[in-house]
Structure formats: C-alpha cells, structure tokens
Amino acid sequence: MRLTLRNLLAYLNNIIEDPADIEEMRRKIEESEFATGLVHRIRSTTSRARLGAPSLEGRGIGLDANSIAEYLDNELPADRIPDLEKICGESDVHLAEVAACYQILALYMKGTGEVDQGLRDRICGIAETGEVRPRAAVSATDRADQSRAVRGAAGLPVAEPLPPPATMVPPAPPRQPMVERARRPFEVPEYLRVGQRGKWKPLAVTLLLAFLLSAVALRAMGPFDRNHPLMRLVGVTPSVTVSQGTAPRAAEPTGEPDAPVAEPSTTGQEPAAEATPGEPAVAPAAPVAGADAPGVRPPLDERVPAGRPDAQTPPRPPVPAAPAGEPGPAVVPGVPDEPRAPGAANPSMPPATEPAPAVAQDEHPPAAEPAVPPAAAPAPAPAAPVEVGYVKLSQPDFLVRYAAEAADWFRLPARTKLLSGDRLIVFPTYRPEIVLTPGVQVVLAGPAAVQTQPQNAQGEVELAIQYGRALIATAGVAGARIHLDLGGQKGTATFPEAAAEMGIEVARYLPPGADPEADAGLPVISIYTTIGRIEWQAAGAAATPIEQGQVRVLVGDQSQTMAVAQSPAWIQGAELRDVDRLASSALEPFVTPDRPASLTLRERTEDRKSEIRSLAARCLAHLDSFESLVKEFGDDRQRSYWTAEYDTLRQSLRRGPDAAAKVRKVLEAFTGADAANLYRLSWGYSAEQLRDGQGAKLVEFLDHDSLPIRVFAFENLQRITNKTLLYRPDLAAAQRRSSIQRWKEQLESGPIVYETLPTPLQN
C-alpha cells in the first residue's frame, strides 16, 4: 500500500480492514520522518478551534469545495491529485479541512450516527412549546462511555475505564423544597421571544430606507423643479428661466426658403470676463456656447419666435482681404474645426473683439459693405462640450479617455464627469460602469470603444459604440429611450417597462482571406433583451419589439429576431479565465490617472509575470500600438497566451483599413523578411483558397525557421480543422517532426477544409 495522504487518513481513522495493510502503513509511518510529522500536524490542526476554513465560494484546486469533495470520494482526476496533496502539505487550513471531513465521513462509514434521546427530546420540546426544559442528568459513567466511543471512532487512543472504588459512595445531592422551585420564574431566552415583538419597527425602517433611496435616485436625475423628468411624466410643462444678461437663442429654422435666421442682439452685452486659470475662457457672444453649434437643437421654450423685434439679423463683420501675394486662410465650407479641450484657443477663429454696435429695428445693413462670399465665410465653431454623465466604477475596473491636449489616453477615476465627444476605451477583462444623464446606466464589457454624444432637444441620451459589448438599463423609469450609433448603424432603443435591460454586441465581419485594407467588412450587431422587454427602431424603420430571451441580429442591411436558448457568457461576466482575472487585478494598480496609460502598459510588457505581459500587450493593441503584441509571438515563454493574442490581432484588422495599415507597418518594422507572410497569414483563408493550395502552404509553414510564422500557421490550421495533432510551434525541429508528419498524412488523405464554415455570427 502506497504512503499517500488519503491512505494515511484511512489508517488514522481505522478504515483499513486488512491487518497486513495496517501493519505495512504503521511501519512506513515509523520509517518516514515526513509521514510522522504529518501525523502530528493532522492531530494538531484538527484540534485548533480558531484555525479557520477555506472560503465557500473559492476558485481553484485548493479553494473549490468540490475539489476536496471529489478527492475524498475518489472522484478527482489523477492528474489533479498531486496538486491538491501539495497544497495540503503546505497549508494547515487545507490539511485540517481534508482531515476533519475525512474524520466525519469515517464515523458514518463505520455505522449510522446516533443522537442522544435526551437531546432529541429537548430539541423537539423547544420546537413544540417554546419552553426550554432542563437538560436531563447524565451519569459520569455514560459520559465516559460516550467519550471513549468518540475517541475510538476518531482514531485517538482510548483509556481503559478505571474500576470504581468499593468504599467510595457519591453523596446525595441536597434536596430543595418544591416551593422554591415553583417560585423560580422561568425565563425564555431572548432569541425565542423575537416573534412576540411588534413588527412595526422593521417595517418603518424599511419604508424609511426606501424613501431615502428613492429621493437620492430622483435627485440624481436633476433638481426638483418643473424641468425634472418626474414632472414631465405627470404632465407638467417644463419652464426655462433666461437671465437678463444672457442673449436669447436663435430661432428654429422654419423650412421657408426666405425665412431669416434670428441671431441674438448685441445690445446691452457686457465685455468678456477675464479667464481664471484652470477655467475655460468665455466668449463674448452667448450663442457660441452651444445654441448655434451644429447638430444641437435648443429646447422648444428657449427658441426665439421669428416675429419678435430682437430676432433681426445683425450684419456679419466682413472678412479682411489678404494682402497682395499672400494666400488667405483655407476654409472648407461645412467642415468644423478639430475638437479641442475647453478653454483652448481655436486657431481658425478670429480673436475676440469688442461687441459690434446694435442694429435698430428699422435699420438695415449698410449697403456699402460688400456681401461675404460663401467660400470665404469662417467655418462654424464646434459645439462646446457639455456634461452628459459620470463614471461609476469599482476599484478593479477602469476605462481610459483620450486627452487631445496631451495626445494620449488617461485613466478616469470614479465620479469623473463625462463630456460630450469623449472617446473612451475599455481594455480586455475589465467591466466599468458609466451613468448617462438622465439615469441611463451602461456597463461596458471590454474590449470596447465608445464615444459620448450630447443629448438631443428632448433631453434623451445618445451614445456611439464603435465596437465592443455593453449592458444598458434605466433607473426604473418606464418609457425611457436612448439613441445609439452602433458601428455606423443608428437607431433608438425604448424601454416600455421600468425594470428592463438590454445587452448589445457590436463587431465587424471580415470574410476569411479578404484584404483588410481593401474591404471594410460588414457591421454585425446583436441586441439581447436580458430583463423585461424593449423596442428597437432603426433609422427610417418601424419599431420592433424584442422580448426577454430573444436577440435581434443586424448584419449589414439584413435583420432578424431569434430566440436564445442561453444568454452569452459575457452578459453574466463568466467569459474570463481565472488567469485573466488574476492578471487584470494585478495590472490595475499600475495604471494611474496622472500618467499616460500607454506609457504604463509599455512598462508592464516587461513584467516578470507572463499573464501581465500578455494583457498589457493586448491592451496596447486597442490603443493602436501593436509593437508589443507582435513581439509576443517571438517569445516562447508566452506560448499559453498566443491564441488570445492572435485573436486580438485579427480583431484589430477588422476595425478598419486604417488599423490594418498600422498592423502591416509594424510587422514590416519588426519582422523584416517574414512581414509579408505574417501579414497574409493574419487574414485567414477562405474555402476556395484552401483548395487552391493554401492548405498545403499552411502545413509547410509548420516547419518554418521563424517562430512567429509557425505560430500563425498553426493558429490558422487549428481554427480551420479544430485539431492540434499534438503540434507545438515552440518545440525544436526534432520534437516537431512526428506531429508535422501527422499533418502531412492529414493533407494526403484530403485537402484542408473547414470543419465549420465561419459566419458573421461566429466571427
């Protein structure tokens, strides 16, 4: 019999029946110093009352309760048993857990456990009458017999009972009169009198907490005035207060060709205030703040009627002609300037000057001033960023935002305000949450790229998702809507129910073998209803209801609603491996808000842990930095992460021709003569290309001198055939020879073909 932990526990609990095996185990324990020490550790750890126990919801071979149960039940796979026994040998907590569980099981393996009849009667009496009866007296002999039985079942030494002295007679207990016993009041324990109390206090506390939570949620949606969304639901018309120092907004275009567009009057305007350091400069004219910005419509109550006297259009200042021989400023009509940070100067706009003189109601623009040609008119100023929400995230999850002034990406701390036009990136393995005003909660499942948009005239939220996954829900408001731009396809999602949630997945389908720089691919959008019911209305189409358990799939201009047997794993947050969770937790503290994220990630690509290096390289790929990702395929220490890294490279090619061109340039810079083959291998292969000889080319690449080419070829073959044939690209040529021969035999038996043809939904 081998000296293993399980056999040692069986010996200590008297489970072994063969006397020869018992003697053999005893002899091996005496001869082994380690086994003798382990026996003492088992007896010591099982008797320590404050040692503790593993977590009930742990993961891994040593923390999962199912692993220990399978080990004790002889159901654990043989390749996992050494790992568990090694953990027990190093940890007293796990050793005590296994030994104590085995000891309990041993008691029932020897016979049925018995419960003392007196204890059974006491428990039944408490349940029936609510009275606690005094415990029946147990003789010392009975207690000794019970103690010897328990110690014998546990494998502990049992002391022989001593014969009672013949002359020793126990004294009789003092008798108490029955009157004193009757006078002693019986007190029911406090925990048994809980049901006798009134229930109004817990109810009041619950109602108070519900009221406070409701008040906080309503306050988060806006001030308690006529403009609050709750007031809109009950039919109260919102009011807008315009201060005397603020010029009225421009009138809404009426659709008549000759209707003048009203601009604010400059009468009574004050000169622009000096900008305080750290605050954005305020232009003298109020409409630049957003009323006249393209794509933003002012609320109905703030529009100026065309018939009001202050709706006259003042003349625009003439553009000074450029001196002879000098070209004027190049202005492209209809193209706004590049977005800039608040407070930064716009190089395409003239410097602020004194306000123009007011034009009376009965006056007209001077005839002497020539009309400005449309081509020379200055481009409209971009809309000033407005607040659209904030970041709501826990410590392990985070996202980054692009800062134009630094031309880099920075981490956003919790409670950071989000502005319209913000470009946000969520790295793989992270799931941050943002809140968009009013009351729309969005959980972004990385990797994802989104951009915030200003609210429309009705105060409804707008969000653009370039790629990635998101869970969207409202703050308990029935009828809420959100406008979405999903990879270029626009639509509106309506939540008819207060408790509703939807999941969105946005990707692009690029057929295998297609040139990513010549083919932009098709947008593939999946809209899941996870809770309740939603309605999806594409631009220019009727609304389509999507019930819970259904998915609406949009591929190009085709759409279809289907039933879903089981929600995708990413909706439940169960798509990550344990190693990815560990890597994300270890990488997160290094990315700080005061330092560019790209710089920190490049430093982490040199980390001593392989999982952190791989995750940092994949994160950099979503910032269009592919150098570290390409280097990973030449490092044989990263073999376990090549598949995930190759998937990231393929996803980068699908983002568009620009991203594909960047990947090609990085391959040319870092792989030299192998760049052309690697770039072609990253496209994949269609079924026709495989039949035309590319399948044989893939098998030939398995024996290439370049490790990255072997990795790319094997990843293609593995995805096409769903086979490995025990091939490993990181092994030496002699060790690869047998597996390459299997691939050649596979090729001789027939061409390399797809086991399952790829589709847009399996991209």
pLDDT in tens, 367-396: 444 444 444 455 566 668 899 999 986 668
Q: What pLDDT digit, counting tens, does each position of 424-452 carry?
A: 999 999 999 999 987 789 999 989 999 99
pLDDT number for residue 225: 67
Q: CB-based contacts of 690: which residues, under 8 Å, 6+ apart?
A: 720, 751, 752, 753, 754
- Least-confidence region, from 39-48, 88-97, 126-135, 343-352: 343-352
More confident residue, 462 or 314: 462
Instruction: Give the span between the Cα atoms of 80 and 60, in whole angstroms.
Output: 11
Q: Rounded to whole angstroms, how far apart are CA atoms 487 and 441?
A: 20
Confidence band of 574 (pLDDT split at 50, 70, 90): confident
Span between the terminal Cα atoms of the chain, in Å: 54
Which of 242-256, 579-593, 715-729 is predicted with the least confidence, judged by mean pLDDT? 242-256
C-alpha R_g of the chain: 38
Q: What is the pLDDT of residue 589?
A: 94
Q: Are 512 and 685 in contact (CB under 8 A)?
A: yes
pLDDT surpasses 50 at 21: yes
**Among 159-173, 200-214, 682-696, the range of highest mean pLDDT:** 682-696
Q: Are strands 533-538 and 522-531 parallel, antiparallel or unpaired?
A: unpaired
Q: What is the pLDDT of residue 38?
A: 85
Which residues of the chain form CATH 2.60.120.1440?
387-572
Most confident of the following: 362-371, 437-446, 640-649, 752-761? 640-649
> Where does residue 383 rank: exposed (0-12), middle (13-18), buried (19+ CB within 10 A)?
buried
Mean pLDDT on 9-28? 83
pLDDT of residue 176: 43
Query: What pLDDT was estimated at residue 540?
Result: 84
pLDDT of residue 148: 61
Q: What is the mean pLDDT of residues 616-638?
A: 96
Pairing assessment for the beta strands 480-486 and 461-474 based on DSSP bridges: parallel
What whole-number distance in Å separates Cα of residue 570 and Cα of residue 220? 29
Q: Is 519 within 8 Å of 508 (Cβ atoms)? A: no
- What does the block give as tokens for 301? 């109550």
Q: What count of other Cβ atoms lies within 10 Å of the Cβ of residue 162?
A: 7
Q: Do the Cβ atoms of 420 and 451 come closer than 8 Å? A: no
Asked if CATH classification 2.60.120.1440 holds for the domain at 387-572, the reply, yes or no, is yes
Looking at the chain, the whole-number percentage of residues with pLDDT higher than 90 is 40
Distance CA 344, CA 382 (A): 12
Identify the pLDDT of residue 759: 87
Q: Is 74 left (phi over 0), alpha (psi -120 to 50) or beta?
A: left
Higher per-residue pLDDT: 648 or 266: 648
- What local confidence, expressed as pLDDT, does residue 320 receive? 42
Q: How confident is the model at residue 187 (pLDDT cuts 50, 70, 90)?
A: low
The lowest-confidence range among 134-148, 284-298, 695-709 is: 284-298
Q: Report which secondary-structure segment, H or E, holds 446.
A: strand 440-453
* Whole-number pLDDT of residue 253: 41
Look at residue 522 and give its three-state secondary structure: strand
The pLDDT value given to residue 451: 96
Q: Residue 189: is its pLDDT beyond 60?
A: no
Highest mean pLDDT range out of 62-76, 89-103, 155-169? 89-103
Mean pLDDT of the chain: 75
Model pLDDT, residue 154:
52
pLDDT over 70 at 699, yes or no: yes
Tens of pLDDT, residue by residue over 304-343, are 334 333 333 334 344 344 444 444 443 333 334 444 344 3
DSSP string, 563-614: E-SS--HHHHT--S-HHHHHHHHHHGGG--TTS-HHHHHHHHTT-SSHHHHH
Confidence of residue 181 (pLDDT cuts 50, 70, 90): very low
The per-residue pLDDT for 77 is 82
